[in-house]
Chains A and B, each alone.
Chain A
Amino acid sequence: MGDSMAEARVISPQDVCADVGQCVGNAAVAIESGWNEAAAGIAAPVAVARPTTEDRVAALVRLAAERGWRLLPAGRGRQLSWGNLGQPVDLVVSTAAMKEVAYYSPADLVISVQPGMTWAELSRVLAAEGQMLPVDPFVPDDATIGGIVSTAASGPRRALYGALRDMVIGLRVVWGDGRVIRTGGRVVKNVAGYDMTKLFIGALGTLGVLTEVTFKLRPLPLHRATVLLSGDVQALRTVAHTVMTSELIPSRLELVLRGDASRGVLAIDCDEPSGGAAYQIQRLRALAQEQGLSAEVLDGDVADNWWRMHRASAMEAPVCLRISGKPTRLTAQAAAWRTVCAEAGFETLWSITVPAGMARIFLSSTADADGVRVRKLVEQLRQAAGEVGGQVVVERAPAGVRRGIDVFGGLGASRVWMEGIKRTADPHGLLCPGRFAGGI
């Protein structure tokens, strides 16, 4: 039904632009290319509105609902390569211009920001007060908070601090019918009503347009150190599992592998006070020696720099696949899966967040414009991982690669309930239809 309607639609970006201009002012709207290309895989210029207030966002959504326009909630467009290829949209509602701190009480370790604030800016604001949001997702520095929350992006720090769902405590959202909803609050403990906040984390904008996000924060660690162990992969694996089930408190425990070489690096962070850190480093050195691994200790900025470099090289890859499963199985199977990747002709960088049971495989650029080879690889990995209870998701990839597959691998029996949620939040089905798991 959706498709036949799509054929029948005649909504020109110019018309949309004119109507939107009346609603939010002409300066806040433009016709641009690239959005539908990245999110829907179709070259179709689209009106992009950049409202500056929640009221205007709500007005735009209401307008779109009235006119039957399909909407893409977005920020700076840095993560449009996440999710399924959706249907082309008629209007992009970018909250990139809403980038203020709405509320910050350092003594309460709580901040509310508008979704257009970049991750880098948020980190800077927090660091000025000696605080942090303990996520380190594999996204560009100028990705927005709205985008990060909508993709539930995560990184190595998940090992200790958990995922975004553990840090977002409140939201303001405009639903698909234009009503503004508040979920959660600004206190760290709160069980009043349904925890609807969680629905929007990772929903890729299919349930509403975020207009404010409230996080609970952590103080910056009193002391920072990273231990890098290098050597044989089997030995690194042994150390990783020993550390995970020991008294040690790694804030990151990332197994980094390149290609199918038999050597790798295990990066272990410690955010404990200096006495504890010293003890942990000493224990890690001893473990390294036992296993014939070399050990290097980085402190403070040097450590931060190593992680920045690691992220940068991961971000260079156009495709990221993610396998989730039991940590012991992930690390045991990694060798076999790396061979699969190598045989398919891909150069890979592996970043395995061991305690979280998440392996990210970054595929470096190959001439594979139509994505046939990547899709074949995904299929092979899904089969191999599925045998040991693992799950493979294409975290991000160019549009061409995502054509014709469900990057999430489909939904099970809970699909009917998810469709119900979608219908409730977006009764007209206008919020980037098709982009979410199972084609929702």
Chain B
Amino acid sequence: MNQEALVRALTEIVGPRRILHRPGQLAAYECDGYVAQKGRPRAVVFPETTEEVSRIVRLLHRERIPFVPRGAGTGLSGGATPLHDEVVISLVRMNKLLSVDYENMRAIVQPGHVNLTLSKRLGPQGYYYAPDPSSQSVCTIGGNLAENAGGAHCLKYGVTTNHIVAAEVVMPNGDVVEIGAEFGEAVGYDLLGLIVGSEGTLGIATAITVRILKKPQAVRTVMAMFDRVADASDTVSHIIASGIVPAAIEMMDQLAMQAVDKSNYHVGYPRDIEAVLLIEVDGLEAGLPELADRIIAICREHRARSVKLAESDAERALWWSSRKMAFGATGRISPDYIVQDGVIPRTKLTEILARIAELSEESGLRIANVFHAGDGNLHPLICYDARIPGQTEKAVAVGSAILRACVDVGGSITGEHGVGVEKLEEMRYLFSDADLEAQLAIRAVFNPEDLCNPGKLIPRPGRCAEVRDAHWLAAKHAEIAAGFPDQTLTTSPGAGA
């Protein structure tokens, strides 16, 4: 099917106003929040109903034309980036809140519904939707489903997969299937669990049933500043060990503090502290003072320079905005940056930070650190300047080395940003060829020709990697070899055991 025929066929489905196909209109869809790799799509369509999505997918499947589902395009691993001349299926016009059942605590949304919009709509009745990725003011719940998005508060409340109970899904062949169960156990294999986090490679959710929660009666937020990172890390472990389950524990290092203090959310962090912790507990008002006191005491035991309880909602909101703006604010201290998303057992925090500091020194690139410390999810922000030849490659190599170090201490290469195209090669650090083959085999059940978001999430096993990927990898490894002669490709000092 040539471009003209394709455009005609798609226009028949969505009408002339909901399709972009002229080359100049497609540039804006070349990438998502991950900009290191780009590709221009064949066309962009904006369906408004499940039926339209199904007809589009059926058409593309029949014609063997690859496609990429896309929400707000805020993903940080290139999951919505068209690299194979795909048709982008944008779901942003399917943004309705279809129904809310407050009594039974469920809501049904279309995939383009914005995460925070849902909580805002539920707010007046005292409810909210718990997963809160930093991009929650723009990211869509469909995108959250695809990425199994996390957020600051998933320490206590869990990630997206724990909050989506059912979905209507357009499968890669265009069939519409209801999966999951609004209540209780769904009968059969847990297809929903598999599809959540599948980065749009197993189908397109067109209606999503989520759990909604009652807003906690009360919240206490503590900010503690530490002279030494190690003290902050120990504080986190101590709090967890004491039997408290905070709603969130977030950490930022000095460079991250400097970045956010330059944003519109200025807190005014001292320049000579190494780490700041933001610790939040929520629940019944009557139970919180004892928890907050205990947390403050633990911070002090670990030599916190200052510990402060948020005195107002405004102060709490400022602290959180400051934290949530951290990625973007890095743009204020560096022309370019790569945000990584490693996970480690939280007890390895001090160790991994030392390793990151080493990598920073060796490479000469500054690295700011922001983490969900409570669940060991690190976001090192590697600062570089793409205009200086070789720096991009070096930054990519450092990112990869950090992920390697995370895996070496028993962690993972991504906690919430997904693999996308960014971390395909790093998947090999984590999984054996047999594991990867098993995952590809599962994909083949749903998406045998790899037309639905092709090439994402799972690298091809062994040496079958595509030429383009191989080239990318070669550049990366050349840099590693040049920059860090003896460390990166072998196990890091703290690994093993």
Do A and B have CB atoms closer than 8 angstroms in the complex? yes
Instruction: Give residues of chain A (169-214) contacting chain B, Cβ–Cβ below 8 Å.
Output: 175, 179-183, 185-199, 201-203, 207
Highest count of chain A CB atoms <10 Å: which of B176, B181, B192, B410: B410
Determine whether B245 belongs to the interface, using a CB cutoff of 8 Å to chain A: yes
- The reply to whether A207 and B241 form a contact with Cβ atoms under 8 Å apart is no
**Cα–Cα distance between A418 and B289 once the two chains are bound (Å):** 50
Contacts of A279 in B (CB 8 A): 284-287
Determine whether B119 belongs to the interface, using a CB cutoff of 8 Å to chain A: no
**Cα–Cα distance between A117 and B193 once the two chains are bound (Å):** 25
Q: Which of B185, B191, B245 contacts A418 (CB 8 A)?
A: B191
- The reply to whether A415 and B345 form a contact with Cβ atoms under 8 Å apart is no
If A152-B185, A189-B376 touch, does A275 touch B430 (CB 8 Å cutoff)? no
The distance from the CB of B14 to the nearest CB of chain A, in whole angstroms, is 25
- The reply to whether B439 and A418 form a contact with Cβ atoms under 8 Å apart is no
Q: Which of B193, B243, B283, B346 contacts A276 (CB 8 A)?
A: B283
**Cα–Cα distance between A248 and B286 once the two chains are bound (Å):** 11
Contacts of B197 in A (CB 8 A): 191, 194-195
B contact residues, range: 35 or more
Q: Which of A191, A193, A438 contacts B439 (CB 8 A)?
A: A193
The distance from the CB of A399 to the nearest CB of chain B, in whole angstroms, is 20
If A189-B150, A356-B183 touch, does A199 touch B189 (CB 8 Å cutoff)? yes
Contacts of B192 in A (CB 8 A): 198
Instruction: Give residues of chain B (439-497) contacting chain A, Cβ–Cβ below 8 Å.
Output: 439, 441-446, 457-458
Contacts of A277 in B (CB 8 A): 287
If A181-B438, A279-B284 touch, does A192 touch B419 (CB 8 Å cutoff)? yes
- The reply to whether A274 and B287 form a contact with Cβ atoms under 8 Å apart is yes
**Cα–Cα distance between A393 and B441 once the two chains are bound (Å):** 30
Determine whether B386 belongs to the interface, using a CB cutoff of 8 Å to chain A: no
- The reply to whether A324 and B188 form a contact with Cβ atoms under 8 Å apart is no
**Cα–Cα distance between A322 and B104 once the two chains are bound (Å):** 18
Contacts of A180 in B (CB 8 A): 434
Nearest to B154 among chain A residues (CB) is: A189
- The reply to whether B190 and A108 form a contact with Cβ atoms under 8 Å apart is no
- Choose, from B38-46, B59-67, B156-164, the stretch at the interface: B156-164
The distance from the CB of A204 to the nearest CB of chain B, in whole angstroms, is 10
Q: Which of A222, A324, A410 contacts B243 (CB 8 A)?
A: A222
The distance from the CB of B51 to the nearest CB of chain A, in whole angstroms, is 15
Determine whether A286 belongs to the interface, using a CB cutoff of 8 Å to chain B: no
- The reply to whether A191 and B418 form a contact with Cβ atoms under 8 Å apart is yes
**Cα–Cα distance between A240 and B45 once the two chains are bound (Å):** 47
- The reply to whether B194 and A275 form a contact with Cβ atoms under 8 Å apart is no
If A166-B158, A393-B185, A418-B189 touch, does A273 touch B439 (CB 8 Å cutoff)? no
Encoded as 1 (CB less than 8 Å from any B CB) or 0, chain A from 421 to 435 comes to 111100000000000
Contacts of B446 in A (CB 8 A): 417, 420
Encoded as 1 (CB less than 8 Å from any A CB) or 0, chain B from 194 to 221 comes to 1011100010000000000010110000
If A105-B347, A107-B237, A408-B188 touch, does A273 touch B287 (CB 8 Å cutoff)? yes
Nearest to A154 among chain B residues (CB) is: B185
Nearest to A198 among chain B residues (CB) is: B193
- The reply to whether B435 and A187 form a contact with Cβ atoms under 8 Å apart is no
Q: Which of A189, A201, A327, A438 contacts B415 (CB 8 A)?
A: A189
Contacts of A409 in B (CB 8 A): 187
Nearest to A201 among chain B residues (CB) is: B190
Q: Which of B158, B345, B434 contacts A108 (CB 8 A)?
A: B345
Q: Which B residues contact A (CB, under 8 angstroms)?
A: 101-105, 147-148, 150, 154, 158-159, 161-162, 171, 175-179, 181-185, 187-194, 196-198, 202, 214, 216-217, 237, 240-245, 283-291, 343-347, 372, 375-377, 410-419, 423, 427, 430-432, 434-436, 438-439, 441-446, 457-458
